[in-house]
Structure 1
């Protein structure tokens, strides 16, 4: 007995039209990922193979532009996780993805219908994207003022939660290892974590400029920044330090352990991003968790909507965060 779309629809609990559009990779269909996967799984269970793409449902090509090089990405699992999940999610939605590293504009095919750009970009780079397509979604970069869809983590409340945690532990001397970096065309990228950190501490009359040390978001820079802090401050080393990202946190942890400083009794540490790097070091690192999978899925949803309605007003999505306490806080 042959299987019909009605059989799949009844089993999956959706309409026949929804089944047809999902199986034909209709990128304009607005449906949540769980429903999409349930329909596909049901079709596979029934061994249904009759669905074919029509000319109107041709696969659209989207460039996934990573601002890091492949080598840099391997050192920062945060950006890698976002890129990989964007590619998986896009392919599930029927989009063909083209990975582009280090913002290499020359590698972007001219036939792409959209760009999902991950990382930080200068105004000049944004203008170059516009020459390829107007359908652009930025991830981890606030492009709303420039007129483009974007997703960003909630830095403000994330930093506030870190400072609150330290204060609740009785720690009022709080430092930070900040990150400094530039776009691939050498434009300085401001760190909003530092902005909110300094602003919140000033409001609490707890700010000390000498407690801030800079790195470049790499593990080695975190190691060197923490060693400078230990050597310069001695007994005045803060009892709590917030670290801008996980690679720096791993390097900082090594410097603290070499100095035989007790964690968390003498020094509490909190990182930002919560990738596997900080979950499996010892002691495991408390960290602000950024939902990279949710960011990736939302970015693809934005792109699908943008492809459906290129003239819609731009949207900005702020992705929530939460603090996960492990062994580096009390």
Structure 2
């Protein structure tokens, strides 16, 4: 199609009326989710560009949500960004995405200012940027969605109830993974954590500690990686070198990519998973089930996190009471072949693990 695409073109291609297209573009109700998605698909395929200026004058809304994200080379942030964008589009919103440097706090301020210049109706922060509180950067009255553990303190700023918080239950997931390994008969569980300063790192350490303390087990020193497979390899190799002839029998690793490096380090050291050492990760990346030793892990429901987050953000934009301002999405333990009882022990849980292999 040549020339400027009109609303009539979209309507004809989608097999709907122009009024339906207008309702979708302006985010009005009385359009089914399936029909809304069909129209949005045709809008994207045809390259339709609504007159944002005219629409904003009428509705005083841009129908645009800004998303600040970082570290999208990793599975978790990339998955969450994808699902946030899809949830916003399904609700009739377009998105503006800003990729920030996770280690540069000035990036947070720059990213928020860039989105504000676009006249967004609300902002979602899908990944932490430095240690700055995004609520201090957003003008009073502009709704803000923080994708982080909802039991963290809410921002002590003039943000008020415009701030909504939705996050993964990292503490509960880490607690469950550690308790599972202890239930297999391991005397203790070592932890390879994410980088210091990340809320998710602290939360997974907290869950690991909670499980050890509940079992009356003394905690071992925490080792840190940077979420990459290479850092997991280095941390595991150092741990195996230091423990020598009495290596750990169980490792809880804060994400699957680091766990892949851990598996390689164990193999290079001449030991076997899970016969000598059990390993459990976090995320359930697509490759986890297809490794030479399929990886036990915690599965996160990024799509549900995004749906609940966007639903709350849009309720704040509309000024409606909406659901509660915070939500915690549970994880799911996925047991595969990388976990078993320690050498010389067989438990009911380990037999169940072997049956799954």
Matched, 1:203 2:214: yes
Aligned counterpart, 2:63: 60
3-state secondary structure, aligned to 1:170: coil
Residues 265, 125 of structure 1: alpha-carbon distance in 2 compared, 3 angstrom cutoff? same
Displacement of 1:213 after TM fit? 1.6
CA contact (8 A) 1:249 1:278 kept: no
Alignment of 1:1-330 (within 5 A): 23-25=23-25, 27=27, 29=29, 36-37=33-34, 55-56=58-59, 59-66=62-69, 68=70, 72-74=71-73, 76-102=74-100, 103=108, 104-110=111-117, 111-121=119-129, 124-131=132-139, 134-142=142-150, 145-146=154-155, 147=160, 148-182=163-197, 191-210=202-221, 212-309=222-319, 315-330=325-340
CA contact (8 A) 1:144 1:315 kept: no
Residues 12-67 of structure 1: CA distance to partner in whole angstroms, max 9, x if unpaired? xxxxxxx9699535647599xxx5126755999xxxxxxx997449651110110x
Residues 215-266 of structure 1: CA distance to partner in whole angstroms, max 9, x if unpaired? 2222221111000111001233221110011221121111112112111111
Residues 222, 90 of structure 1: alpha-carbon distance in 2 compared, 3 angstrom cutoff? same
Aligned counterpart, 2:14: none
CA contact (8 A) 2:177 2:280 kept: yes
CA distance in 1, matches of 2:250, 2:327: 31
Instruction: Identify which range, 134-143 or 167-176, moves more after superposition.
Output: 134-143
Residues 144, 38 of structure 1: alpha-carbon distance in 2 compared, 3 angstrom cutoff? farther
3-state secondary structure, aligned to 2:33: helix
Residues 199, 281 of structure 1: alpha-carbon distance in 2 compared, 3 angstrom cutoff? same
CA contact (8 A) 1:135 1:310 kept: no
CA contact (8 A) 2:123 2:145 kept: yes
Aligned counterpart, 1:49: none
Q: Which runs of 5+ in 1 are unaligned?
A: 1-18, 45-51
CA distance in 2, matches of 1:264, 1:115: 44
CA distance in 2, matches of 1:30, 1:235: 68
Displacement of 1:198 after TM fit? 1.3
Residues 140, 292 of structure 1: alpha-carbon distance in 2 compared, 3 angstrom cutoff? same
Residues 299, 22 of structure 1: alpha-carbon distance in 2 compared, 3 angstrom cutoff? farther
CA contact (8 A) 2:62 2:121 kept: no
Residues 25, 176 of structure 1: alpha-carbon distance in 2 compared, 3 angstrom cutoff? same
Q: Which runs of 5+ in 2 are unaligned?
A: 1-18, 42-49, 101-107, 341-357
Scaled by the length of structure 1, what TM-score is found? 0.77
What is the count of residue pairs matched by the alignment? 293
3-state secondary structure, aligned to 2:72: helix
CA distance in 2, matches of 1:153, 1:176: 19
Residues 244, 126 of structure 1: alpha-carbon distance in 2 compared, 3 angstrom cutoff? same
Q: Which structure has the highest strand share of the two?
A: 1
Cα RMSD between the aligned structures? 3.2
